[in-house]
A and B are shown apart, each in its own frame.
Chain A
Amino acid sequence: MLTINGLTRRFGRNTAVDAVSFTVEKPAMIGIIGRSGAGKSTLLRMLNRLTDASDGTITFDGRDVTALRGADKRAWQSDCAMIFQQFNLVPRMDVVSNVLHGTLNRRSTLATMFNLYPQADIHRAIDILDRLGIADHAPKRAEALSGGQQQRVAIARALMQDPRIVLADEPIASLDPMNAKLVMDDLRRIHEEDGRTVIANLHTLDTARNYCDRVIGMLHGRVVFDGSPEQLTTGVARDIYGADDGFSEASTSTSIETLERHAQDAIRAAEAVV
């Protein structure tokens, strides 16, 4: 379905993504992990064609995505939704309008400039918001919502695109643990219920373990691990993050359970000392 072959991106003398190759045969939920600067974001941005590749190809259903230009490229972007760390909504517009932006590629520029959308689209936007549990916020301005709610609006915009692939660039990095769980649950549902491929950059190992069918680890722009979550041992994780023995998975975690476990360990250790 999706084949990436030798994909490379250079910024001046730096190589952000270095000859990355992998194949996705059927819809899956894929997590990409690695420390910051490993090239995860650049990889996703190249998939969406926000950033041009320096070398290599992306092929989707036999079509060379890297060669698309103009309207074809925009049509691909509409098929390949992107979710950002900072949500990237239009803050002063209402929630439904932000969700309707997902249809921009299909509508004429003039109609959308006057905010004229078909009633069916408006109803579908509110249905999607309801599915994500935030229909009550429909008429509010996006900036009036909390971070977690804004990220769910961004997911709704992505769903409005009716995409084949959903890319998520650190979708939970600026959210608290509770909202992070809600957002990850939503992304998992998008994969399970709609059968869409979800590719997410994640900064925590346990999120990748809990939610993904397949994990890709990157270091210095190269793929250094590609396998199932079960194969992702602490030793492998150390290699991916280039860390030493002091590295513990709990220290990168933001999930509530792991943190609690961590805190209990600390308390037990303290009690033992006393």
Chain B
Amino acid sequence: MTVGQAGVARVQDVQAAYMEMTRRKRLYGMVMLVVFIALMVSGFRVADGRNAGGFWDGIGNIFQFPKEVLSEAGEKIANLPGLMVKFLPSLLETLNIAGASTLLGAIFAIMISLLATRGLAKWPRLIGVFRRIMDIMRAIPEIVIALVLIFILGGGPVPAMIAIAIHTTGALGKLFSEVNENASLKPVEGLHSVGATWAQRMWLGVIPQVAPNYLSYALMRFEINVRASAILGFVGSGGIGYDLKNAFSWGQGRYDEVAAIFLLLFATIVVFDQISGHYRNKMIGKG
């Protein structure tokens, strides 16, 4: 065999091996696709079978309720500005609950996330413990904690605030610790070399790197918490959720209030989305 022939044979080997790999990958892809479709179909059938009314009978009515709300709100559109002013104090209460719980939750989340990140943790052996604590905090629904606390402390904004803060600590702690994992360890090592304590290394070496991501996650969590604190109003912890529940359950003739509350909530989310985007860009630009 000449050198040229040997070269051609080698390339053919590479081609054959690569085609073999590609065929295997495609086979796996096909199997995954079939499994996915099978799961979707069977899951849908189970859900549809358990449904009280049946999916196909009900799907036609899906727009009836929104239509009713919109048409009634449309008739009384002149009332909307007045109603929005009327509900503004309860919106502020809801925002207050959300703000306090996000702040409290984020502070605890920063601490617990640093303790649960490999390479940064003060006690590496306890990483698992802190992770499980975060799992528990995420696993229990806010509404359950809120109901228990309302039973103990009585109705009002404080139980809602504590309930949301607990959930926020778990959720943000998980996100923060993923951000921490991507932080460079070199500055931390640099601070270690000058004899800094663990808290100094974290505060001065890690936080400046991760702060923009922390901020955007915390602001997104704040949006989620606005909605969560509105929902907790349904179980008696005040705020705009309580008004929403009343407007809904009184039924006839109060859908204009429902529309006004939804508009307020929507406007709040939009405003905070804009603010958070602005400050995040500013922070990145500065850093």
Contacts and interface: CB of A to CB of B under 8 A. Distances in A.
Interface stretch (A31-39, A56-64, A115-123, A148-156): A115-123
Interface of B (DSSP majority class): helix
A114 B15 contact: no
A135 B11 contact: yes
A250 to B, nearest CB: 34
A114 B15 CA distance: 20
Contacts of B14: 126, 130, 135-136, 138
A114 B11 contact: no
Interface in B1-57: 7, 10-11, 14-15, 17-19, 21-22, 25-26, 29
A258 B171 CA distance: 59
A139 B29 contact: no
Given A138-B18, A139-B18, A139-B21, A126 B29 contact: no
Interface residues of B, number: 13
A96 interface: yes
A273 B18 CA distance: 61
A126 B18 contact: yes
Interface residues of A, number: 14
A127 interface: yes
A139 B15 CA distance: 10
Q: Which of B10, B15, B17, B25 has the most CB of A within 10 A?
A: B15
Contacts of A123: 15
A126 B11 contact: yes
B18 A96 contact: yes
B17 to A, nearest CB: 7
Given A114-B29, A115-B25, A127 B19 contact: no
Given A126-B11, A135-B10, A119 B17 contact: no
Interface string A124-154: 0011001000011011000000000000000
Contacts of B18: 96, 122, 126, 138-139
A36 to B, nearest CB: 22
Interface of B: 7, 10-11, 14-15, 17-19, 21-22, 25-26, 29
22 contacts: A96-B18, A114-B29, A115-B29, A119-B19, A122-B18, A122-B22, A123-B15, A126-B14, A126-B15, A127-B11, A130-B7, A130-B10, A130-B11, A130-B14, A135-B10, A135-B14, A136-B14, A138-B14, A138-B18, A139-B17, A139-B18, A139-B21
